[in-house]
Amino acid sequence: MKIIILAIGKSEYIFSLLISISMIIISIKLLIDAVASLVFKNELYYSIYLIIVCIITIIVKLCLFIYTNKLNKKFNNILLKANTKDHFNDCIVTSFTLISIILASKGIYWFDGIVGTGIAIWICYSRN
C-alpha cells in the first residue's frame, strides 16, 4: 500500500512538470505570433460573439478559481494549486484579450500585439 501512495505522489510532480513544459512551449509560440503581429501590423478581426465568449469565460474561470482555491486550501494538493493558478491566469489573459478586442473595435490594432507579448511573458513567468 505504501508503494502505491508513493507512486501517486510522484505522478503529481510529473504531470505538473508536463503541464509547465507545455505552457512554456505555448507561450513561446504566442510570443512569436505577437511580435509578428506588431512587425507586420496585422489587424484584429472581431465580432460581438467573441466579446460575449470572453465575458462568459471570465465569469466561469473566476468561479473555477474560487472553487479550486477552496479545495486547495482544504487538501493542499500540488495539482489543485496548479489548477487554481491556471484558472486565475485564464481570468487575467481573457480580460486583456477582451480589452484588446474592444480597442480593436475602436481602430487601435497595435494593442493586440502588445497584449499577446504580455500574455506570453505572463504565462512563462507564472509557470515558475
32: its cell numbers: 512569436
Q: What percent of the chain has pLDDT over 70?
A: 91
Q: What pLDDT digit, counting tens, does each position of 67-85 carry?
A: 999 999 999 988 899 899 8
What angle (nearest 5°) sits at the alpha carbon of residue 52, between those of residues 50 and 56?
115
Q: What pLDDT digit, counting tens, does each position of 112-123 carry?
A: 899 999 988 887
| Residue 91 vs residue 124, higher pLDDT | 91
Q: Which residues contact 65 (CB under 8 A, 6 or more apart)?
A: 84, 87, 88, 91
Spatial contact of 24 and 124, defined as CB atoms under 8 Å apart: yes
